[in-house]
Amino acid sequence: MPAPAGEFTQLAMTHKLPKAPVVDRIAYLSGKASGRRVIHVGFVDTGCQAMNQTAGSWLHGHLHEHATSLVGIDLDEAGVKEAEAAGYEAYAADCRDRDALEALALAPAQVVIAGEVIEHIDDPGSFLRGLHALVAPGGQLIITTPNAYGLFNVFASLALREINHPDHVLMFTWRTLTNLASRYGWKPVETALYVPAVKDFSGSGATARALALAGRFAAGVERLLGRLGRAYASDGMIIVFQAE
């Protein structure tokens, strides 16, 4: 029996995913920044900065080595002041507030990178709307975010655990993020996935050891599946957008 007019079928809820490679996140984003003016939103990486700097994976530092011009924007005022003291150009602002962004009087950037930010925001639509003020005509918005398809939490769930930053309020799939972005004038033009590094399961005891083991196992499986063309099992997602 056909579905009534206006009703969705289960077939309509099945969406084809674009082919995408598994990449090294820092190398990929550094390549996108190379030779370009870049604005990096959420650059401080509050709560993880020390860990990432120790691991050599603080993204803003890598972008600084490749971009011709780099500006950081973050809500963390203390982190912004530290960056300014270290010689970076940085501003404290809420990217959900387009008026606040325009008040900074920044030249728009060829590339705006919002790295691991959108999953922290309870009104991501305002965020996506506001970012239009930062992207130059013909420029790109690059969003990286955890991938709800990823295997890390599949394995963690076997130990009755969930792996998430304490401040996360959202998780996205490729479909849900691109669908949301389309409502705010962004179209996807490129997709890549990445496997996060297992950096720090500090602590003693069986739980810490089990989580570290599960994380490393999941990372290995994700890399294998990526080589087999099944990139969407990876825990990190990168989507490149342009204004419609």
Angle at 232 between CA 226 and CA 235, to 5 degrees: 90
pLDDT, position 102: 92
Query: Could you tell me the pTM of the whole model?
Result: 0.89
Distance of CA 214 to the CA centre of its chain: 23
Count of alpha carbons within 13 angstroms of residue 42, beta-carbon side: 21
Strands 236-243 and 186-194, bridge-based pairing: antiparallel
Q: What is the pLDDT of residues 90-140, one digit of tens each?
A: 999 999 999 999 999 999 999 999 999 999 999 999 999 999 999 999 999
Which one, of 163, 70, 170, 87, lies nearest residue 128 by Cα?
Answer: 170
Question: How far are the Cα atoms of 125, 131, 199, 236 from residue 176, in angstroms, in the given order?
Answer: 12, 18, 28, 15
Sorted by where each begins, the domain ranges of the chain are: 21-148+165-200+231-243
21-45 pLDDT, tens digit each: 999 999 999 999 999 999 999 999 8
Give ∠ CA 228-234-239 in degrees, rounded to 5: 105
What pLDDT is attached to residue 163? 85
Alpha-helix residue ranges (DSSP H) falling in the chain: 25-33, 49-54, 59-66, 77-85, 98-103, 124-130, 152-157, 174-182, 206-227
Whether the per-residue pLDDT at 8 is higher than 80: the answer is: no
What number is the average pLDDT over the span 144-166? Answer: 89
Q: Is 91 helix (H, G, I), strand (E, B) or coil?
A: strand
Strands 109-115 and 37-41: parallel
Our separate counts of H helices and E strands in the chain read 9, 8
- CB count in 10 Å sphere of residue 194: 24
Q: What does the mean pLDDT of the chain come to?
A: 90
pLDDT range class, residue 5, cuts 50, 70, 90? low
Distances (CA, A) of 100 to 72, 202, 212: 15, 39, 42
Q: Tell me which CATH code domain 21-148+165-200+231-243 carries.
A: 3.40.50.150
Among 6-15, 53-62, 65-74, 190-199, the range of highest mean pLDDT: 65-74
| CA–CA distance, 33 with 30 (Å, rounded to integer) | 5
